[in-house]
Chains A and B, each alone.
Chain A
Amino acid sequence: MFKRLREFNEQTVTVNIEGEDVRVPLGETVAAAVLVHNLGYTRTTPISGAPRAPLCMMGVCFECLMEIDGLPNTQACQVQVAEGMKIRRQQGVGGSDA
């Protein structure tokens, strides 16, 4: 579980994480937002379905692959939150039910 050191007073946007509207600070990455939201895991593996969560936060581990605004295989640590953004976990290879 992660938390913000202080409640934000900067500008915020509302994103939708797995069906739930969440207010997050502008400029934050999707990966940071879902970690604070306590999503637990961000994707399941295509092989065994094991849950995975962000590991590197700098784009080299590809564990934070999520479906962002309908686009699967998006690295959540490399994308910043935007108003109205729809964020879903990637199940397996992703995109099959999109």
Chain B
Amino acid sequence: MPKTYQLVVIGAGPGGLCAAITAASLGLDVVVLDEQPSPGGQIYRGISQTPDDRSALLGADYQRGADLVAAFKASGAQYWPQTTVWSLNSRREIGILRQGRASIIQAERVIVASGAMERPVPFLGWTLPGVMNAGAAQILLKTAGVVPAQGTVIAGTGPLPLLVAWQYLRAGVKVKAVLELSPGTNLWRAAPYLPGALVAGDYISRGLKYTLDLNKGGVPIYYGVSRLQARGNDRIEAVEYGWDILGSDRRETIITDSLLVHFGVIPRTNLTKAAGCQHIWDRGQQCWRPQVDRWGNTNVPGIAVIGDNAGIGGARSAEHSGRLAALEAARSWHLISTQQRDRQAHNDLKWLRKDLRVRPFLEALYRLPDSLLVPPDDEILVCRCEEISAGQIRQAVREEHGDPNQVKFYLRCGMGPCQGRQCAPAVAQIVAAENKRPVADYTTFRVRPPIRTLTIAQLANLESSES
């Protein structure tokens, strides 16, 4: 029999940490599994080791993570760092890989807090070495103080390109340009949500501050850019882009050996899909997410999903949703009554509502146009692993392989090492566009364990108990 744990939290970002702190304080036996060597998630990556000068450079938002990590360390929750979760099923059996050994543990209750990933948006040249996600570059800065040596171009949508450019400006890294790819008309769609967004906190003022500082620092920001392309042979040599306004055909080129891209973030759904949780298409966030109630409960008994993993709300909302899921866990064992749960949840629910008021504004402002969601050129590689192009996928749909999973069986797209993490959204968008149906009518690829690489030897030596 696998060893049983009362509550297993998967992920040590702000949501997972708050869930663990709260659950431990209510007397629950908690284990936190995390693939990184230190707590904080991607947002506070490396916070406990980061030298003071680098931490100052990253800004106050990053430093906020230090208090959270300190509270977690004092909470009494068990913490298993460098632990990879390769399976989760509806019986709450969790396959883990720890210190090179694979094992299965049993949880009475699971809180999935594996966070978000940067939305993959295929464009011409995105597979060239030298093209990297902007969040990935930020992880390099947070954990290792590593930055582009000869400057960079940052392209895409969302607040993160601005933040990374601002951090680079402070670090003395040359930012040749920031290319904003969301359409200019988004501004008008977002305007009605501005009053609500202003209530949510200092999100808007921080965005303005980054923009002003970049202007003062001489970093050019170009708005309404389209048709992004990375050019080069064995690595990127130049970035090409243009404007599609009023039929103009203006193209520009920037010579660079580094391009950082970012198109917002989407929930990481491999684990929740493997576990059989229901997922829905979120029109505002333009992605699928697990369907949860206010406590994080899914349709699978005993499995809750919180934070960005359940739909993008940001780091502060994740803290609140983590506490809510922990209160619900304590209620499920009758450690607190339903009334006590509701009373203790009151503030978190209030702050969550307030914090989330910025989302409709951000979602409208950074809404991706179809030209980014549905790769327009047939030559664009959509599946990076199996090297399947948009043209091949369109052809498959025209040959009656009319569903993402059928396209997968036919072409192998989504069957490489990343298991569809990088191509699933674009494949579904292409299928929907070819069939002239809304993408919400489809589901993305089915997911089966192991969802991380395991050797046959590790699988053969599977331990079903953990000492």
A-side residues, CB < 8 A to B, are 1-6, 25, 27-29, 32, 35-36, 40-41, 45, 47-48, 50-63, 65, 71, 73-75, 78, 80
Contacts and interface: CB of A to CB of B under 8 A. Distances in A.
Interface string B368-388: 000000000000000011110
A32 B37 CA distance: 15
B66 interface: no
Contacts of A35: 140, 146
A52 B129 contact: yes
A6 B42 CA distance: 22
A72 to B, nearest CB: 9
Contact of B416 (A28, A57, A62, A74): A62
B417 A1 contact: no
B65 to A, nearest CB: 16
Contacts of A80: 37
A5 B422 contact: no
A73 B146 contact: no
Interface in B29-88: 35, 37, 42, 49, 54, 84
Given A1-B258, A52-B127, A58 B416 contact: no
B235 interface: yes
A35 B149 CA distance: 10
Contact of B234 (A1, A4, A51, A63): A51
A22 B147 CA distance: 19
B158 to A, nearest CB: 16
A55 B149 contact: no
A6 B145 CA distance: 8
Interface residues of B, number: 46
A27 B144 CA distance: 8
A58 to B, nearest CB: 6
B387 A50 contact: yes
Contacts of A50: 127, 387
B387 A56 contact: no
Which 5 residue pairs are nearest across A and B when measured between Cβ atoms?
A: A53-B129, A57-B136, A62-B417, A3-B149, A1-B149
Nearest to B144: A32
A27 B387 contact: no
The secondary-structure label for the interface of chain B is loop
Contacts of A59: 35, 452
Nearest to A58: B42
A61 B418 CA distance: 6
Contacts of A47: 386-387
Given A57-B133, A58-B136, A62-B418, A28 B453 contact: no
Query: Which of A6, A56, A71 has the largest number of chain B CB atoms within 10 A?
Result: A56
Contacts of A78: 35, 84
Interface in B391-427: 416-418, 421-422
Interface of B: 35, 37, 42, 49, 54, 84, 117-118, 120, 127, 129-133, 135-137, 139-140, 143-150, 171, 234-235, 257-258, 268, 384-387, 416-418, 421-422, 452-453, 455
Given A3-B148, A41-B129, A75-B453, 8 more contacts: A5-B171, A28-B144, A32-B144, A40-B234, A41-B234, A50-B127, A57-B136, A62-B453
A57 B130 contact: no
A57 B140 contact: yes
A57 B42 CA distance: 10
Contact of A61 (B137, B235, B384, B453): B384
B140 A63 contact: no
B437 to A, nearest CB: 28
A42 to B, nearest CB: 8
9 contacts: A2-B147, A32-B143, A51-B129, A52-B127, A55-B131, A56-B117, A57-B137, A60-B422, A71-B455
Contact of B146 (A36, A56, A60): A36
A44 to B, nearest CB: 10
Nearest to A31: B140
